[in-house]
Amino acid sequence: MFGFKKKSAEKESEKEPERASLSDRLQRTRSGLFGGLFSRNKTVIDNTTLEELEDRLIMADIGTKTTDQVITLLKAESKKNAEINPLELLKQVMLPVLQPVEQPLTIPELDKKPYLILVIGVNGVGKTTTIGKLAKRFQNEGKKVMLAAGDTFRAAAIEQLQVWGERNKINVVAQTHGSDSGAVIFDALESARANNIDVLIADTAGRLHNKDNLMEEMKKIHRIGNKFDPDLEKEVLLVLDAGTGQNALVQAKQFNESIGISGIVLTKLDGTAKGGIVFSLADELNIPVRFIGVGEQVDDLRPFNASEFIDALLVNET
């Protein structure tokens, strides 16, 4: 389901709601990675600790490349110095991996509106939920937002978006279950242009009859934007569930090869120990990570900030 509880909808009008700290939200990944491993600050790192750390980095889906870099550096430093500050060193290695993918999504001021955000990804990763969160975010920034119910494969998906749109006074362009997704998005583009809408966010299906089918459909939808206006400015936003670990990386490669991705949203970082997958994604794909999802509520979508993310993981757990 959509995941937004009514209570949160009522709270949305308040200015800055109480937010759990990022390190609280990343608790499972954080304690999986470093919990109980290092005593405070300066320490001597022995081989057993290094081996344990290596296992944990792999378990958290950080990927072999970053893991090797971390271990090599810690080994070298601990040879030079009997005592080192492992957390400081970890940040030195980890930050340059994530910094290149910290590229926030900014909606340009356009003469020819709207800016299209095409939201894609397999079933259940959090596309529709993310669309709701994004819509509120842009609305709070003073932008006019419209949604397109492009997941026509499931009747419930259309309804989910419509109900949410009604509750939040955001227009949703929809057709009936089974209608052509590209046509829905084309209609929505026309309506958005006519109504001077700043941002049109389009939902898409995550499951068709098979994977090839899904990719073909996505390519077709992608072309719809060009057909509407060859100069249309858009973002192709891939949503990935962090909890699926290496699978998320496989999905990202597939979607990127088939249609080309301009940004990633990594969801469900609050419920998983596999949050290290963001390092693998950064290492292997170098596609901007626009937002991270750290919960089901509307304000649980945060712009990705590399330094903040690493600091949240490195809070000493001892």
Ligand X SMILES: Nc1nc2c(ncn2[C@@H]2O[C@H](COP(=O)(O)OP(=O)(O)O)[C@@H](O)[C@H]2O)c(=O)[nH]1
Q: Which positions touch ligand X (CB under 6 A)?
A: 1, 3, 121, 123-129, 206, 267-268, 270-271, 293-296, 300
What is the spatial distance between Cα 268 and Cα 163, in angstroms, rounded to a whole number?
Answer: 23
* Least distance to ligand X, CB of residue 159, Å: 12
Q: Is 130 in the site for Mg ion (CB under 5 A)?
A: no
How many residues touch Mg ion under the rule CB under 5 A: the total is 3
* Least distance to Mg ion, CB of residue 224, Å: 19
- Which one of Mg ion, ligand X, none is in contact with 126 (Cβ closer than 5 to 8 A by kind)? ligand X
Rg of the chain, C-alpha, whole Å:
21
Q: Which two tokens stand for residue 296?
A: 């089901």
Stretch that binds Mg ion, among 61-69, 153-161, 227-235, 277-285 (CB under 5 A): 153-161
* Least distance to ligand X, CB of residue 299, Å: 11
What is the spatial distance between Cα 286 and Cα 279, in angstroms, rounded to a whole number?
Answer: 10
Closest CB to Mg ion among 146 and 205? 205
Question: Are 237 and 293 in contact, with CB atoms under 8 Å apart?
Answer: no
* Least distance to ligand X, CB of residue 292, Å: 8
- Supply the DSSP string of 20-58, one letter for each residue: --HHHHTHHHHHHHHTTTS-SSSBPPPHHHHHHHHHHHH
Closest CB to Mg ion among 99 and 179? 179
Tokens 């929505």 sit on residue: 188
Q: Is 128 in the site for Mg ion (CB under 5 A)?
A: yes
- Which one of ligand X, Mg ion, none is in contact with 129 (Cβ closer than 5 to 8 A by kind)? ligand X
Closest CB to ligand X among 78 and 130? 130
- Supply the DSSP string of 116-174, one letter for each residue: EEEEE-STTSSHHHHHHHHHHHHHHTT--EEEE----S-HHHHHHHHHHHHHTT-EEE-
Question: Are 221 and 187 in contact, with CB atoms under 8 Å apart?
Answer: no
- Which one of Mg ion, ligand X, none is in contact with 35 (Cβ closer than 5 to 8 A by kind)? none
Question: Are 108 and 115 in contact, with CB atoms under 8 Å apart?
Answer: yes
Tokens 């949160």 sit on residue: 8
Closest CB to Mg ion among 157 and 269? 157
Closest CB to ligand X among 97 and 239? 239
Closest CB to ligand X among 296 and 299? 296
Contacts with Mg ion, residue ranges (CB under 5 A) = 127-128, 157
